[in-house]
A and B are shown apart, each in its own frame.
Chain A
Amino acid sequence: MKRLSVFFLILALCVLSFIRVDRLRKARTLPAKLMLLPSKEMTRVISFGNELLLAQLIFYNSMFFAGSLDRPPAMIDQRELYHTLDAVTYLDPYNMDGYYFAQGVLSWNRSLIGPLDTILRRGMAHRTWDWYLPFFYGFNQFYFLKNSKEGAIYLKKAYLLNPENTYLPTLIARLHYQANETEVAIAFLEEIIRTTPGGALQEWMKGRLEAFRIVSFLEAALVRYQERYKSRPQSLEELVDGKILRAIPQDPYGGEFYLDEKGRIGTTSKFTDVHKKSKGSGQ
């Protein structure tokens, strides 16, 4: 009985001390820190054949670090995250967690898009079946770097890897158009329509194709005008006045074609259905 009492006394003291330790620990909780790593080459050497495991451990560390921040990662945090995620994808170039997280945390800082793209290119070289990587890369190109041509090339790769991304073909065609590659946009849409089963999606793409064919037709008319008059027209109406066209074709989306300040063909519909929009907004 005496022995049992001593045991329970010690047990109670143990519980009380644990509660105290727990409180103190919470009060002095230090912020999570990223692992201090040597160079990625040296990190691989010291993994002694367990690169996959080490890569995942470093990835978890960076994920928990970013998750523990009570604010968006500062510039210095983002640079540190870049170095750890670079090490993760160097140790395990197939690690999708690393690429996915890198795109999520690094893409919003323009100065890190270049380093991020280096990581993504590593991913594309290894995960050749994965459509996410060319999609991320293409997205960064057209959205952050305003490089429509490069964006179109990589989104096309993403689409070919996963044709279920039905929103991509028209976006790719639009990027080709923005990169002054209307003919490429038309050829791409023709190919996609040819291989897509009939239905609403095919009709949608046919609408975009028709619009781009008109743009291409107007671009050819601009060239003929320049050849004939040795000057650029100020508006599309001058093509009619100069007897190059009989009339300006109608935009299948319900807008009107015009010549912008850079001398490119544009449309007020921006290649989206004006009729539906008007109906939808009650105008």
Chain B
Amino acid sequence: MSEVGAIVRVTFLGGIRDRTVFGIFILGLLLMLTVPIFSYFSMRQTTEVAAGYSLAVISVIGLLLTVFMGGNLISRDIDRKAIHTVVTLPISRTRYLLGKFIGLALLLLISLLILYLLAAVAVYFTSYQYPPSRPLQWETYLLVMISEYMMLLVISAMSVLFTSFATSTFLPMALTLAVYCIGQSTALVKDYLDKAPEAKQISSLVSFFAKGSYYIFPNLSAFDMKNAFVYSLPMDLQYLLTVLLYGLFYLSVVIFMATYFFSRRDLT
């Protein structure tokens, strides 16, 4: 396992030194400073707006970090010819890929922890000045963070899958973004197709593909629990646990597929 640890370490440190990643992180911090300005215009829910805005910023920054770090995960090693050194080492490609994924997950975790901490400070001070209609539940904040992190891990796994066979940096990034957009909307589209009367006029082929996407792509909207914290709603722990397990199983399947493709890839 020490080889995996070394890959994790290199990936993590490489991510910290990456200027693009650093830039995205700084952008996130700057956006956090705009929380009071954005929430100031609210009529009756300043704290709720501050909380919703902060969580949305983290969500977007988390996505950008995942997409850029994931896209560069293996292609950078290939560009720098470092991959040739790695494949000659006594370490399996599966372990190499796992190390890369864990390194990415660790970097995401640290970034999210810092962003969530700053957001908590911003929301706390806003709530001090403008008390919300219901007291903020900080334990829910923690659960929202866990759920969001799991969603980003699933996207990271998809990113790793795309980098396992793609030859350019751009393709995995574009595909990961596409998966994010599809994953966020399939549940809503399926609900619409199932319930809306006007959906009966939609062609059965479109309906088939839309519903098929719901079952194939990760259902990312299930991980969204932001409004539970924003409006201090009761958290369904059983639902949260099920969603987390779903995320864990989904990313395991994706990583399994990624290692399969990567182990058969011609890296010469």
Q: How large is the interface on A (under 10, 10 to 19, 20 to 34, 35 or more residues)?
A: 20 to 34
Minimum CB–CB distance from A257 to chain B (whole Å) comes to: 44
Question: Is the Cβ of A53 less than 8 Å from the Cβ of B56?
Answer: yes
**Closest CB in chain B relative to A193 CB, distance in Å:** 29
Please give the distance in Å from B142's CB to the nearest CB on chain A: 19
Residue interface bits B223-260, CB-to-A below 8 A is 1, else 0: 01011001101000000000000000000000000000
Given the complex, which residues of A lie within 8 Å of B42, measured CB to CB?
56, 97
Alpha-carbon distance A53/B134, docked complex (angstroms): 20
Question: Closest approach, in angstroms, between the C-beta of A118 and any C-beta of chain B?
Answer: 17
- Among A44, A45, A60, A96, contact of B44 (Cβ-Cβ < 8 Å): A96
Is B220 part of the binding interface, using a Cβ–Cβ cutoff of 8 Å?
yes
Q: Mark A111-136, 1 if CB is under 8 A from B, else 0.
A: 00000000000000001011000000
Residues in A with CB closer than 8 Å to B55 are 52
The answer to whether A96 and B196 touch (CB under 8 A), given A50-B60, A63-B43, is no
Of A44, A48, A97, most buried by chain B (CB within 10 Å of CB) is A48
| Known contacts A41-B188, A53-B53, A56-B49; A63/B180 CB under 8 A | no
Contact with B along A37-51 (1 / 0, CB 8 A): 000010011101110
CB contact between B196 and one of A41, A45, A130 (< 8 Å): that residue: A41
Q: Mark B177-205, 1 if CB is under 8 A from A, else 0.
A: 00011001100110010001000000000
B94 at the interface (CB under 8 A from A): no
Contact of A96 among B48, B181, B184, B189 (CB under 8 A): B48
Chain B residues, Cβ within 8 Å of A127: 231
* Contact count A vs B, C-beta below 8 Å: 62
Cβ of A142 within 8 Å of any chain B Cβ, yes or no, is no
- The interface bits of chain B over 37-56 (1 if a CB of A lies within 8 angstroms of the residue's CB, else 0) are 01001111100110011011
Say whether, besides A44-B188, A48-B181, A129-B134, A94 and B230 are in contact (CB < 8 Å): yes
* A63-B52 in contact given A52-B230, A96-B133 (Cβ < 8 Å): no
Q: CB-CB contacts of A129-153 with B at 8 A, as 1s and 0s?
A: 1100000000000000000000000
User: Chain B contacts of A50 at CB under 8 A?
Assistant: 56, 59-60
Q: Jot down 9 A-B pairs with beta carbons below 8 A, ordered by A.
A: A44-B188, A48-B184, A49-B59, A49-B220, A49-B224, A53-B52, A53-B56, A94-B48, A100-B44
Additional A-B contact list (4), CB under 8 Å, known A45-B185, A52-B230, A129-B134: A49-B184, A92-B227, A97-B42, A97-B49
Q: Which B residues lie at the A interface, using CB under 8 A?
A: 38, 41-45, 48-49, 52-53, 55-56, 59-60, 133-134, 180-181, 184-185, 188-189, 192, 196, 220-221, 224, 226-227, 230-231, 233
